[in-house]
């Protein structure tokens, strides 16, 4: 029981200590900016992904459009062939029908003639029995009858053969037409398939384009959020707190005793980029003590550029800023008044800093001023 209580107390102490040191509970402006930038980067990656998707979908749209057009052209050619074939078949079938009619007519007239002959021969035979003229007449009539029969039979056979030829031709043409119809059905199926694929690709393309637009909007919104966060910080840095004491003038206390000035305020080139340096950089080892330049009221903030930072409002619109600290000094918190030469923090390299140094900056009514003007 006792041990458990001790552990809890120790844990509580650790949390208090961490809270004092890092203000871990709430999101600092630096953390906020980092989060916003990470979110923006994620959006950018998503936009890139959407662009790739859109490009792929666009390729598919082009591919299926080409395929569909190709199949449609093939179908058009095939349709012409089918029409031609159908016309031929209709012609042949008409010929078959005509020939069939001819065969029927010839057969009918042959039958009629044969019937007539039979009647005549019957009557002639009767005439012979009743005492007809002569046997030679009978014979002549028989030959005549036979000749007619042969001629008619041959005619009918020829007509039938011709009709069968035409029927065979019609069957061949029908088979050809059937094959063309089958090909056409295949092409139509392919065309339908391509049309469906094209529709899908188009849907994918519009979805990717919509996502890309949404991403661009989200990116712009995040950009505005970041700009607002930066503005918020700049306003904080420039603003002299209202409850600050009146700056009475007099020389600044040098915040890093024993360490001389480094890079001064003004334009400089950092990593090939021209930028305005708002303060003075004083190199010093990690943990070197930093002291207040003048009496003032504390405001603390962390920033992605300045890192762990203290701003002192001295009144009269004058503020001093101490950036890239490794930690705030004990008791340094928002609204706390400090005296000139009081310990406020320790040298570090938090934020955008290359090597351990103190960034020491002064602003008068929001505009940077050279701290050397206040050193006396």
| CA neighbor of 313 nearest in space, from 375, 374, 243, 368 | 243
Minimum distance between the CB of residue 357 and Zn ion, rounded to whole angstroms?
Answer: 7
Minimum distance between the CB of residue 352 and Zn ion, rounded to whole angstroms?
Answer: 9
- In the complex with Zn ion, the residue whose CB is nearer, 103 or 312, is 312
- In the complex with Zn ion, the residue whose CB is nearer, 191 or 284, is 284
Minimum distance between the CB of residue 245 and Zn ion, rounded to whole angstroms?
Answer: 26
Minimum distance between the CB of residue 277 and Zn ion, rounded to whole angstroms?
Answer: 6
Residue with tokens 């040191």: 21
| CA neighbor of 307 nearest in space, from 292, 327, 287 | 327
Minimum distance between the CB of residue 270 and Zn ion, rounded to whole angstroms?
Answer: 9
Residues 79-118 that bind Zn ion (CB under 5 A): none
- Of all residues in the shown chain, the one whose CB is closest to Zn ion is 359
Interatomic CA distance for residues 320 and 318, integer angstroms: 7
- CB distance 346 to 290 below 8 Å: yes
Q: For Zn ion, which stretch binds (CB under 5 A), given 69-77, 242-250, 328-336, 359-367?
A: 359-367
Residues contacting Zn ion: total by CB under 5 A: 2
Q: According to the binding rule CB under 5 A, does residue 295 interact with Zn ion?
A: no
Interatomic CA distance for residues 126 and 264, integer angstroms: 155
- In the complex with Zn ion, the residue whose CB is nearer, 301 or 359, is 359
| CA neighbor of 51 nearest in space, from 212, 237, 195, 288 | 212
* CA 284 to the chain's CA centroid: 52
User: Judged by CB under 5 A, which of 359, 363, 368, 374 binds Zn ion?
Assistant: 359
Query: Three-state SS for 367?
Result: strand
Minimum distance between the CB of residue 360 and Zn ion, rounded to whole angstroms?
Answer: 8
- In the complex with Zn ion, the residue whose CB is nearer, 303 or 359, is 359
Interatomic CA distance for residues 249 and 292, integer angstroms: 15
| CA neighbor of 366 nearest in space, from 225, 218, 239, 189 | 239
Residue 273's Cβ-count burial label (10 Å; 0-12, 13-18, 19+) is exposed
Q: According to the binding rule CB under 5 A, does residue 325 interact with Zn ion?
A: no
- In the complex with Zn ion, the residue whose CB is nearer, 215 or 345, is 345
Give me the DSSP letters along 264-306: -SEEEEETTEEEEE-EEEEE--TT-EEE-SSSEEEEEEEETTT
- CB distance 322 to 309 below 8 Å: yes
Minimum distance between the CB of residue 279 and Zn ion, rounded to whole angstroms?
Answer: 5
**102, 103, 148, 165 from 160: Cα distances, Å:** 9, 7, 18, 9
- In the complex with Zn ion, the residue whose CB is nearer, 222 or 359, is 359
Minimum distance between the CB of residue 331 and Zn ion, rounded to whole angstroms?
Answer: 25
- In the complex with Zn ion, the residue whose CB is nearer, 295 or 361, is 361
Minimum distance between the CB of residue 305 and Zn ion, rounded to whole angstroms?
Answer: 9
- In the complex with Zn ion, the residue whose CB is nearer, 266 or 366, is 266
Interface mask toward Zn ion for 270-289; x: CB under 5 A: -----------x--------
- In the complex with Zn ion, the residue whose CB is nearer, 314 or 359, is 359
Interatomic CA distance for residues 297 and 186, integer angstroms: 86
Residues that bind Zn ion (CB under 5 A): 281, 359
């Amino acid at each position: 029981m006792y041990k458990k209580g001790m552990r809890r107390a120790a844990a509580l102490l650790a949390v208090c200590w961490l809270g004092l040191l890092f203000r871990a509970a709430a999101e600092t402006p630096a953390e906020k900016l980092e989060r916003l930038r990470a979110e923006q980067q994620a959006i950018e990656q998503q936009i890139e992904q959407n662009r790739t998707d859109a490009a792929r979908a666009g390729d598919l749209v082009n591919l299926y459009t080409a395929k569909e057009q190709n199949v449609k052209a093939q179908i058009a050619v095939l349709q012409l062939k089918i029409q031609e074939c159908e016309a031929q078949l209709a012609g042949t079938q008409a010929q078959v029908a005509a020939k069939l009619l001819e065969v029927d007519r010839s057969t009918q007239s042959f039958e009629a003639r044969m019937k007539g002959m039979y009647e005549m021969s019957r009557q002639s035979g009767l005439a012979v029995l009743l005492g007809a003229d002569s046997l030679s007449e009978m014979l002549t009539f028989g030959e005549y009858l036979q000749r007619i029969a042969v001629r008619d039979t041959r005619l009918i056979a020829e007509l039938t053969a011709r009709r069968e030829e035409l029927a065979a031709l019609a069957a061949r043409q029908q088979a050809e037409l059937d094959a063309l119809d089958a090909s056409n059905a295949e092409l139509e199926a392919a065309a339908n398939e391509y049309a469906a694929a094209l529709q899908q690709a188009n849907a994918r393309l519009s979805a990717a384009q919509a996502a890309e637009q949404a991403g661009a909007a989200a990116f712009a919104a995040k950009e505005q959020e970041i700009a607002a966060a930066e503005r918020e910080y700049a306003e904080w840095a420039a603003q002299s707190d209202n409850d600050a004491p009146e700056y009475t003038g007099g020389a600044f206390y040098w915040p890093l005793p024993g360490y001389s000035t480094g890079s001064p305020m003004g334009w400089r080139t950092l990593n090939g980029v021209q930028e305005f340096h708002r303060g003075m950089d004083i190199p010093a080892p990690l943990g070197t003590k930093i002291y207040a330049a003048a009496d003032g009221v504390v405001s603390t903030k962390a920033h992605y550029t300045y890192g762990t930072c203290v701003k002192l409002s001295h009144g009269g619109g004058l503020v001093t800023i101490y950036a890239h600290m490794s930690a705030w000094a004990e008791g340094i918190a928002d609204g706390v008044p400090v005296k000139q030469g009081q310990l406020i923090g320790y040298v570090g390299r938090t934020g955008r800093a290359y090597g351990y140094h103190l960034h020491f900056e002064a602003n008068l009514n929001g505009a940077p001023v050279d701290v050397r003007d206040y050193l006396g």
